């Protein structure tokens, strides 16, 4: 049976909260034809299958779709590969090559907004309105809902509802953070869901970077 690592990505400063991520470091142990079913069975917002740890080649699945790029899976997998002794500077999801590195206790990736899913960004008037949501406002089915907590300081409060990808609410969405930083043209500190923390900043050549803290929750046979 393949080993499944579960990590919490974009945790709060004390290591609490975070978005659970399933990672199979031996992705070859799970046939590609079976991966979508495995991701649906695990029911994390995303599950990663690492096909080649040396080159960083991997695939990412939500419970209902394969994704070419996603921030939370790439940050979590980068952190886990380093923890397991792999030297990784680039990850290779289907979208493109994604640089990754560590600064202090944050693991970072760099990507492009156009690699992200086509999120519907809905700006609300206050962080309290965002915190009170149980679904996107109005008739929207999906929606990345956000508001300024402190615009001058770049602090944002957000929630992300994406049932179209099989995720009723995503606790922390790195690709949306990349896209939002690109849209607003500035660095951000995003508090998403129940307290996940995502840091963003602009990169070279129209890219954006997202970083966060990761902790290992468990390792088990699947």
Residue 120 has what pLDDT?
Answer: 95
Structure tokens that stand for 188 in this block: 């951000």
CATH for 3-111+210-221?
3.10.310.10
CATH for 115-205?
3.10.310.10
d(CA 86, CA 55): 10
Please write the tens of the pLDDT for every residue from 136-148.
998 889 999 999 9
CA distances from 89 to 63, 110, 214, 222 (A): 28, 11, 17, 28
Whether the pLDDT of residue 185 is over 80: the answer is yes
Domains 3-111+210-221 and 115-205 share a fold: yes
pTM value is 0.96
Residue 1 has what pLDDT?
Answer: 73
Please write the tens of the pLDDT for every residue from 38-78.
999 999 999 999 999 999 999 999 999 999 999 999 999 99
Bridge pairing between strands 98-103 and 90-91 = antiparallel
Every domain of the chain and the residues it spans:
3-111+210-221, 115-205
**Contact, 109 vs 79, CB < 8 A?**
no
Residues ≥6 apart with Cβ < 8 Å to 139:
none
Q: 57 has which bridge partners?
A: 52, 92
């Amino acid at each position: 049976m393949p080993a499944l690592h579960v990590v919490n990505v974009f945790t709060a400063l004390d290591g609490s909260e975070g978005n659970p991520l399933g990672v199979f470091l031996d992705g070859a142990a799970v046939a590609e034809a079976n991966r979508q079913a495995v991701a649906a069975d695990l029911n994390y917002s995303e599950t990663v299958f690492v096909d080649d740890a040396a080159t960083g080649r991997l695939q990412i699945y939500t419970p209902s779709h394969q994704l070419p790029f996603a921030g939370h899976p790439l940050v979590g997998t980068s952190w886990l590969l380093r923890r397991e002794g792999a030297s990784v500077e680039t990850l290779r999801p289907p979208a493109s090559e994604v640089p990754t590195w560590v600064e202090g206790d944050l693991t970072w990736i760099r990507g492009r907004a156009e690699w992200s899913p086509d999120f519907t960004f809905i700006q609300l008037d206050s962080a309290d309105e965002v915190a009170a949501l149980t679904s996107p406002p109005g008739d929207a089915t999906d929606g990345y809902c956000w508001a300024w907590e402190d615009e001058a300081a770049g602090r944002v409060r957000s929630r992300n509802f994406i049932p179209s990808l099989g995720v009723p609410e995503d606790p922390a969405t790195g690709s949306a953070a990349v896209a939002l930083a690109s849209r607003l043209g500035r660095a951000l500190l995003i508090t998403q869901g129940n307290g996940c923390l995502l840091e963003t900043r602009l990169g070279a050549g129209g890219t954006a970077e997202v970083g966060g803290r990761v902790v290992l929750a468990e390792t088990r046979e699947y």
